[in-house]
Structure 1
Amino acid sequence: MNKLKSFSCSLLAIAVLAGCQSTKPASQTNKAKVSNRASSAIVAKSAYDFSDDDIRMPAYFDTQGLDLCTFEPGNEHPDCPLKKPIVRMYFDGAEVGGEGQGVNALRAYEDKDLLLMLENQFAGINRFRIVTQDDDLIAIENTIASAQQGAGYVIDQRRKQQVLKPDYLVKLDSLRTVKNEGSITGWMDYTLELTTAVLNPFTREKMSHPNLGKIRVKSEDVRDRSELKFVMASNRYVSGFRYFDSAHVNAVINDMASRGIDILLTRMLSEMPATTQVLGIKGNKLSLDRGQNAGVMPNETMIVFSYEAGFVEPLGVAHVMPSKNHATGEIVRWKDTDIADAIKAKAEAGIYRPGNGVKIFAVSVGTPADFLENRT
């Protein structure tokens, strides 16, 4: 028998999505400071830093529909929460404001490059299927394929491989502003604000989830302020940052947009977590049925939980590394509950394989801590 617990635990209903009740708040993420005057990225806390109270179901994860899952990544039931949503992205960068020098060059910014950057970043995390709007490249490739393989080949491939139909539209609106300070020696201060809307393309509804909020990036977050310094004489440009040259301005805005998209991704990764099914547990080692194909990322922190008849029970926190179609992990800390203790004992005696209506899953708690350094 285990010693009497300081708090009692029970299986909770789906709507609760929490583990053992505790007076201490759970903490599963850390704030990665980008700037004290700009939006910050929120990244997952390392599994090795979790306390028992932190081992709870993460926010935004919904177990409803798990009974419908086929556990076939390429052929999931549409109502299965493990199905990757199909997304088409839009970027609207029309709004420009400011005062003083440099507003005209800011208006000349080319937004299409930002849209393609957005598509590339979202496709790279592999939790969504992105319908690209790079129509120019698609048209060029179809022309080449038709010339090399024949028009019949292109028609046949189009018939076999239907264009993806988006489940959601993700639209980014941006506001770019500029102001400059100083009369002889001045500095350009740029601000980029991004807001996101998620829409159902068929009902025209603006969805409340995921709610990514507003992201604000300042030029000083990506460039040393001295790089944006310029000198004027008799109200004419003399030297320094070429605030009137759209190429120079675009370079700064591109860096700001890249930072904003990075922050956007960390929020999206928290609100739409990766989930895998646990095939077996041996000691503290996990075997998982999905990997990069389901958006599991290197050094992922994941909560391991059991699921039975619509009830969930957190079992532990794991550090997970994916391969292409599978993943392995290590339970760094087991939850201090009778259910977790029983499964741990079976795993220590051999390979524990869930059965008798019980399934075990692992769900990510947010962006891996090294994602911003190594993947963006």
Structure 2
Amino acid sequence: MQLKQFKQISVSALAVLVLSACQSTPAEQTSKTNVTNRSSQAQVARSAYDFKDSDIKIPAYFDTQGLDRCTFDPSNENDGCPLKKPVVRMYFGGTDVGGEGQGVQALREYDDNQLLMMLENQFSGINRFRIITQDDDLIAAEKETYLEQQGARDLAQRASAERVLKPDYVVKIDTLRTVKNEGSITGWMDYTLELTSAVLNPFTRELMSYPNLGKVRVTSGDVRERNELKFIMANNRYVSGFRYFDSAHVNAVINDMASRGIDILLTRMLSEMPATAQVMGIKGNQVSLDRGQNAGVLPGETMIIFQYEAGFVEPIGVAHVNPSRNSAIGEITQWKNSDVAEQVENVAKNGIYRPANGVKIFAVSVGTPANFLENRT
């Protein structure tokens, strides 16, 4: 296979290929989406209906170790269970602004706090992590209102009963914003936004290698037609077109670029920290899961169904899953060509297959559902 072809393979599929080098056909569990930019691309899960038998494998980044420690109670999960939702605090770290020509000053006036609030909202909305907000002004205002309406005693009791969450790790985002413009009389503004992430253990001070979100680069051309950023000058003075000197107009472009960049970071996090649930039963091709939105299972999720026994993993099939609040229902679109899968399928054809005798069956997602970015972010 040529190097160019390898570059087209998604991160998840490449990891599976390395782990399964003895097989001639690699698993393809993710595919490229139209939500892309010139330097960084959002990767989404391949539809369960497009899977081949060779694709039905445990995705990269999912660790089955520790499943025996799970209580399967989403509100009271063991720390050693891989199904537990991590508690995360997010920060924006250093901010650099650079460029040449017109518009640098307006770019400097952008408030990075907008990025932080956007980041928190996007990540908390998927319910796969517990996000500790940095919106101190809002929290302080709400406590003041609560004090006025409920009294000091009630406020003290509430604060004592509901402790502030303790983060498992922190995610720090550094930003670099640059601008350049071309042309003397008629010009175009070109903006670039780079988001570089780091994950830290706040107590050991360790820079963690997992999850690895990397760097995201977004350009203004990814969110705007070039003519929208066109301006006209005369005698070195602005005449008409894009108001590159007006921070409100510049902020609107940077916000769209930031939203695109955060979407891409989100897809990376969803791939490295997949949603998981226990299978309660299988009837025909219908599979019932014990967790839903409460565990971050997303609408249209592509999930690998696998059997877990004595530390061994056996893929059974791939399913298209939709959640309710506390559970989920899926359709197995293709069964794995294996003896174990055939045994389960035969029982499910004639009734309900329920795992027994120490055997457990789980479902694990393979990445961001294909339509999630368009519909929910």
Fold equivalence (TM over 0.5) = yes
Which runs of structure 2 are paired with 1:112-123 in the superposition (5 Å)? 112-123=113-124
Going from structure 1 to structure 2, the CA distance change for 1:110 and 1:44 (only over 3 Å counts) comes to same
**1:304 is aligned to 2:305:** yes
The code of the aligned residue for 1:341 comes to E
For residues 259-304 of structure 1, give each alpha carbon's deviation from its aligned partner in whole angstroms, at most 9, with x where no partner exists: 0001111111111000000000111111100000000000000000
Q: Distance in 2 between matches of 1:55 and 1:19?
A: 12
- 1:179-190 superposed matches below 5 A: 179-190=180-191
Question: Which residue in 2 is equivalent to 1:265?
Answer: 266
What is the rounded CA distance, in whole Å, between the counterparts of 2:355 and 2:17 in structure 1? Answer: 23
Offset, 1:238: 1.0
Taking the aligned partners of 1:104 and 1:20, their CA distance within structure 2 comes to: 52
Q: Is the 8 A contact 1:19 1:55 kept in 2?
A: no
Q: Show the counterpart of 1:253.
A: 254
**Deviation for aligned residue 1:36:** 6.0
Conserved? CA contact 1:89–1:131, under 8 Å: yes
Instruction: Give the drift of 1:92.
Output: 2.8
Q: Distance in 1 between matches of 2:375 and 2:21?
A: 35
2:242 aligned residue? 241
Q: Retained in 1: the 8 A contact 2:37–2:219?
A: no
- 2:198, 2:214 within 8 Å by CA — same for their partners in 1? no
Maintained 8 Å contact 1:119/1:132: yes
Cα contact 1:212–1:268 (8 A) shared by 2 = yes
1:135-284 equivalences under 5 Å are 135-284=136-285
Number of aligned residues: 362
Runs of 4+ in 1 over 3 A off after TM superposition: 15-21, 33-36
Structure 2: which amino acid aligns with 1:166? P
Distance (Å, rounded) in 2 between the aligned partners of 1:17 and 1:138: 47
Partner of 2:72: 71
What is the DSSP-based 3-state SS (H/G/I as helix, E as strand, rest coil) of the residue aligned with 1:231?
strand
How far off is 1:307 after superposition? 0.3
Question: 2:91 aligns to what?
Answer: 90
What RMSD over aligned residues (CA atoms) do the two structures have, in Å?
1.6
What do the CA deviations read for 1:195-215 (whole angstroms, capped 9, x no partner)?
Answer: 110000100001001111211
Residue type at the aligned position of 1:239: S
2:37–2:222 Cα contact (<8 Å) kept: no
- Could you say what secondary structure the match of 2:213 adopts? coil
Query: What SS does structure 1 have at the residue aligned with 2:191?
Result: strand
Q: 1:221-263: CA deviations, max 9, x gaps?
A: 1111111111111111111111111111111000000000011
**TM-score computed with the length of structure 2 as normaliser:** 0.94
Identify the residue that residue 359 of structure 2 maps to in structure 1. Answer: 358
TM norm structure 1 = 0.94
- Cross-structure match for 1:99: 100
Structure 2 Cα separation of the partners of residues 18 and 347 of structure 1:
31
Shift in Å at residue 22 of structure 1? 2.5
CA–CA distance in structure 2, aligned partners of residues 228 and 272 of structure 1: 38
SS in 2 for 1:202: coil
Give secondary structure in 2 for the equivalent of 1:267.
Answer: helix
1:34 deviates by 4.0
Q: By how many angstroms is 1:23 displaced?
A: 1.3
Counterparts of 2:41 and 2:114 in 1: how far apart (Å)?
24
Deviation at 1:93, TM superposition (A): 5.3
Separation in structure 1 between the aligned mates of residue 18 and residue 62 of structure 2, nearest angstrom: 8
**Paired letter, 2:296:** G
Matched residue type, 1:359: K
SS of corresponding position for 1:260: helix
Cα pair 2:288 2:329 within 8 Å, conserved: yes
Structure 2 CA distance, aligned partners of 1:371 and 1:89? 22
Counterparts of 1:35 and 1:22 in 2: how far apart (Å)? 31
Percent identity over the alignment? 72
For residues 68 and 363 of structure 2, the distance between their equivalents in structure 1, rounded to whole angstroms, comes to 16
**Structure 2 CA distance for aligned equivalents of residues 34 and 43 of structure 1:** 9
1:16 is displaced (CA, Å) by 12
**What is the SS of the residue equivalent to 2:58?**
coil
Separation in 2, partners of 1:257, 1:247: 15
CA-CA distance at 1:19 after TM superposition: 8.3
Q: Deviations over 1:9-50 (max 9, x none)?
A: xxxxxx999789631111000011445623111000100000
Q: Which residue of 2 aligns with 1:11?
A: none
The one-letter code of the counterpart of 1:80 is: C
Q: Offset at 1:78?
A: 0.4
Gap change, CA 1:183 and 1:19, over 3 Å in 2 = closer
Contact 1:283 1:350 in 2 (8 A): yes
Structure-2 residue corresponding to 1:60 = 61
Supply the distance in 1 between the matched residues of 2:324 and 2:119 (Cα, whole angstroms): 25
Q: Which amino acid aligns with 2:158?
A: Q
**Partner Cα distance (2:59, 2:283) in 1:** 24
Secondary structure of the residue aligned to 1:204 is coil
Counterpart-to-counterpart distance in 2, 1:107 and 1:222:
20
Deviates more, 1:192-201 or 1:30-39: 30-39
Q: Which amino acid aligns with 2:145?
A: I
Give the residue type in structure 1 aligned to 2:122.
Q
